[in-house]
């Protein structure tokens, strides 16, 4: 999984019906130092995250597991909201 | 998933028969800032997208799920046409 | 999927028996502009492609689907030979 | 799999219930030369690893296999603690 | 799949029991030009490869297929030892 900030959302009227009951959020992955790293992506949200929150997300088909028995063609999903994290360099 | 622009299509006479009833579109991934990011790719299209439209696509076997019970050896598929998206920096 | 040129082949006497009846071709991925992009890779061939041809290939377990019921531990496979492609910048 | 150092952990109160009984550790991948390479990530831990240890981890759904029959939407998991490794350039 | 050189091995006493009967080898991926490309990784070995040999390896769950019915949480596995390969630029 990777840490990320929720930075926005996507509105799409014409989409696979599997996405009808899910939010589509835009994530900016971040490193353990809290800095942006890599490309933004679009993820489904299984935990009720909102813009501005720090989360961790999963890549791959596992992204849709929390929605079972609903199914959707997703490859990225938020699976946790981060309270804080600690590394040998300190706490964030 | 990732945001992308549809920039073209591929014509292939000799191909896996699973692709016979699908369009093969060329995508240019874009970031949340609307700028091109990363390599172009070829995707199947489950939502009737056309050249010039902004879409989001999924990577992996999930790309073929919308075509069930048809099966094809695909690893990228358009699963939504984007109306607009919003980030903390504005709306696109 | 990605566009690629077939640039060579691999000879391997000791290999997983699943590969016994397949060609192992070397691919150079290319972008929609026709230029080389990224690393070369080894792919199985489901469509009878030859060195010099432009193809599109799939990554992941799907690479072995065209060979069913044969199974092989492959993660990349050629699934179409490209006649030509068109983008907003022209035809190739 | 990749070599990595365990550099921290993540605390998340609101998360997929599949993670309730697992630690979420932060990894810094390292190369065979022992140097940091690539981005930090969050992994589940199947072998009782701790901060400061060198491990190897797996990407993909396989990350959750050691927890069977428990299931969690994970895409990275520690599957071994490294005693040492040897290359043609020496032992680490 | 990708070409690689076997450059070392990993010793791990505490690991997922699925790895008990497999070697864990360190690979340096190489391009079709024979030069190192990208990061080293750890792979299981299904074909009896040794340090110094050139091989091709598969990424993903397919890495464990040759070991069936044994199962292990692996995402990279050597599936062939390369005799030689040929490209339009010559033979290696």
Q: Which one of E24, E40, E72 makes the best mutation probe of the D interface by having the most chain D beta carbons within 10 Å? A: E40
Over the range B66-80, which residues count as b (16 or more CB within 10 Å of their CB) and which as e? bbeeeebbbbbbbbb
CA distances from A74 to A33, D23, E54 (A): 28, 25, 37
What's the pLDDT band for C92 if we cut at 50, 70, 90? confident
Q: In chain E, how many domains are there? A: 1
| Touch test D–E: 3 Cβ pairs or more under 8 Å | yes
Look up the CATH number of the domain holding residue E65.
Answer: 2.40.50.220
From CA E73, how far away is CA D63, in angstroms rounded?
7
Q: What is the mean pLDDT of residues E40-49?
A: 96
pLDDT in tens, D9-20: 999 999 999 999
What's the pLDDT band for B90 if we cut at 50, 70, 90? confident
Note whether B4 contacts A: Cβ–Cβ < 8 A: no
User: Positive or negative, the Cα torsion across E62, E64, E68, E69?
Assistant: negative
> Which range marks the domain in which residue A25 is found?
1-12+21-44
Q: Does the distance separating the beta carbons of B15 and C31 come in below 8 Å?
A: no
Q: Indicate the average pLDDT of chain D.
A: 96
Residues 6+ apart with CB under 8 A from D9: A85, A86, D23, D24, D25, D26, D51
User: Structure pTM?
Assistant: 0.96
From CA C71, how far away is CA E76, in angstroms rounded?
17
Are D47 and D12 contacting, i.e. CB atoms less than 8 angstroms apart?
A: no
**Residue A40 counted as domain residue:** yes
Q: Which one of D4, D18, D23, D40 makes the best mutation probe of the A interface by having the most chain A beta carbons within 10 Å? A: D40
Strands C14-15 and A41-45: unpaired
pLDDT of residue B88: 83
Q: Shortest CA distance to B13 belongs to which of C44, C68, C52, C55?
A: C55
Q: Which residue has the tokens 């930075």?
A: A7
pLDDT of residue C30: 98
pLDDT of residue A53: 97
pLDDT of residue D92: 85
Q: Which one of A29, A31, A45, A80 makes the best mutation probe of the D interface by having the most chain D beta carbons within 10 Å? A: A80
Note whether E27 contacts C: Cβ–Cβ < 8 A: no
Are A52 and D15 contacting, i.e. CB atoms less than 8 angstroms apart?
A: no
From CA A70, how far away is CA A65, in angstroms rounded?
9
Q: Is the pLDDT of residue A54 over 90?
A: yes
Q: What percentage of chain B reaches a pLDDT higher than 90?
A: 92
Cβ pairs bridging A and D (under 8 Å): 94
Residues 6+ apart with CB under 8 A from C29: B39, C2, C3, C4, C36, C37, C38, C39, C40, C41
What's the pLDDT band for A2 if we cut at 50, 70, 90? very high
Note whether C34 contacts B: Cβ–Cβ < 8 A: no
pLDDT of residue E89: 85
pLDDT of residue A92: 85
What's the pLDDT band for C90 if we cut at 50, 70, 90? confident
pLDDT of residue C89: 85
From D47, D59, D87, residue closest to E14, measured CB to CB: D47
Q: Is the pLDDT of residue A90 over 90?
A: no
CA distances from D25 to D44, D56, D58 (A): 6, 13, 13
Q: Is the pLDDT of residue A89 over 90?
A: no
With H, G, I as helix, E, B as strand and everything else as coil, classify residue D55: strand
ipTM over cut 0.90: yes
Which residue in A has a C-alpha nearest to residue D60's C-alpha?
A60
pLDDT in tens, B21-45: 899 999 999 999 999 999 999 999 9
From CA E14, how far away is CA E17, in angstroms rounded?
9
Q: Please report residues of B whose CB lies closer than 8 A to that of A9.
A: 85-86
Note whether D82 contacts E: Cβ–Cβ < 8 A: yes
Q: What's chain B's Rg over C-alpha atoms?
A: 13
The 10 Å Cβ neighbour count of residue B5 is 19
Q: Does the distance separating the beta carbons of D11 and A83 come in below 8 Å?
A: yes
Q: Is the pLDDT of residue C47 over 90?
A: yes
Dihedral angle of Cα E69, E75, E79, E83, to the nearest 10 degrees: -170
**Residue A35 counted as domain residue:** yes
Strands E76-81 and E41-45: parallel
pLDDT in tens, C60-83: 999 999 999 999 999 999 999 999
Are C54 and C30 contacting, i.e. CB atoms less than 8 angstroms apart?
A: yes
From CA A6, how far away is CA B88, in angstroms rounded?
9
**Residue D60 counted as domain residue:** yes
Q: What is the DSSP string of C10-40?
A: EE-SEE-GGGTTS-EEEEEEE-TTS-B-S--
Q: Please report residues of B whose CB lies closer than 8 A to that of C88.
A: 7-8, 51-52
pLDDT of residue C91: 86
Q: Which helix (H) or strand (E) holds B32?
A: none
Q: What is the mean pLDDT of residues D4-27?
A: 96
What's the pLDDT band for E88 if we cut at 50, 70, 90? confident
Note whether E63 contacts C: Cβ–Cβ < 8 A: yes
Q: What is the mean pLDDT of residues A71-82?
A: 97
Are C23 and C44 contacting, i.e. CB atoms less than 8 angstroms apart?
A: yes
Residues 6+ apart with CB under 8 A from E65: C16, C18, C71, C73
Q: Is the pLDDT of residue A88 over 90?
A: no
Q: Indicate the average pLDDT of chain C.
A: 95
From CA B74, how far away is CA D80, in angstroms rounded?
33
Note whether C61 contacts E: Cβ–Cβ < 8 A: yes
């Amino acid at each position: 999984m990777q840490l990320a900030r929720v930075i926005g959302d996507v509105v799409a009227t014409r989409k696979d019906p599997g996405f009808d009951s899910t939010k589509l959020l835009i994530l900016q992955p971040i490193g353990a130092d809290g800095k942006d790293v890599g490309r933004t992506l679009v993820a489904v949200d299984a935990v009720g995250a909102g813009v501005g929150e720090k989360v961790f997300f999963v890549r791959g088909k596992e992204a849709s597991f929390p929605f079972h028995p609903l199914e959707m063609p997703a490859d990225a999903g938020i699976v946790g909201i981060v309270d804080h994290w600690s590394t040998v360099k300190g706490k964030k």
